[in-house]
Amino acid sequence: MAWRIRIVAIASLALSPVFVLAQAQDEAWLRTAEELGTSLYQIDRAVQAAAKEGERSRAFRRDERVQGWVAEVQPEVVRITYVGIQGGAPVGLYRATVDRSGRIREALEAIDAEPLSADLAMQHAIGRTAREVQRTTCSNEVETLVLPADDGWHAYVLPRAAFADVYVLGGSYRIELSASGNVVTQVQALASECVIVQNKKGSDAMLFAEDRGVLPNELHVYISRMAGKAMYVTTTPNGRTWLIQDGRIHGVERIPGAAG
């Protein structure tokens, strides 16, 4: 019996480095998901703040030249520039600046039609490319957010719900592009089909069952931050439960009865 115990102990020690490596990789991915989800939230919040400014401007609302926007992320602010096409090239038409808390720092103003910088012109082109990628459509309205990546660019196509208490997760995609922005290298659905999560009034947290992956991803962090509420995600392939709160992801034993 002692001989058998020693064999089991040796086998466990042999496997432990693999387990530790997998655990480290999972932790690294969770921290990346937190960072990406928070970046998406900060840009999207700035876009929505700028859009509300635009709703107050009759000239902006009637300006048919506007064909989208680009975001310039700075340490203290996010600058949103609304874009049109002039002479076949994207130009800036209006600009608003939003601070990191989501408040307007500089009101929306018309600017002289000027060519976008190379980086913003790339962002605009990538957004257009991402919207043309074949994908499952779960909403008539989508927002496209572009982030730089180590090996190129990531464009996120995120659906908007028609109701304030519903978030559409299905139809959300991460589209990875080359550094030149000309080649789509991967298209990754971030949720299945057209699933939604409801933000119930008076609930302590939102509840969601993820049947595609074994770890939460940046979409879950983004949704939690947009709702301003904690979110419990159960990854059904491995039966684990996670709490996303204030942009952080933690594994938990169970979902409290008061949640949801």
Tens-digit pLDDT string for the chain (260 aa): 444 434 344 344 455 665 555 788 999 999 999 999 999 999 999 999 999 999 999 999 999 999 999 999 999 999 999 999 999 999 999 999 999 999 999 999 999 998 999 999 999 999 999 999 999 999 999 999 999 999 899 999 999 998 989 999 999 999 999 999 999 999 999 999 999 999 998 899 999 999 989 999 999 999 999 999 999 999 999 999 999 999 999 999 999 876 76
Which helix (H) or strand (E) is 160 found in, with range?
strand 152-160
- 251 within domain boundaries: no
- 90 within domain boundaries: yes
- 162 within domain boundaries: no
- 85 within domain boundaries: yes
- 126 within domain boundaries: no
Say how many domains are in the chain. Answer: 1
| Global pTM exceeds 0.85 | yes
- 179 within domain boundaries: no
- Residue range of the domain that includes 86: 1-116
Structure tokens at 169: 């997760």
166, 138 Cβ separation under 8 angstroms = no
Give the strand pairing for 248-252 and 240-245. Answer: antiparallel
Eight-state DSSP code of residue 131: H
- 122 within domain boundaries: no
Q: How many whole angstroms separate alpha carbon 61 and alpha carbon 72? A: 22
Backbone angles phi, psi at 252, to 5 degrees: -130, 165
Q: How many whole angstroms separate alpha carbon 182 and alpha carbon 1? A: 64
- 27 within domain boundaries: yes
Query: What sign has the CA pseudo-torsion 98, 104, 106, 108?
Result: positive
Structure tokens at 259: 């949640």
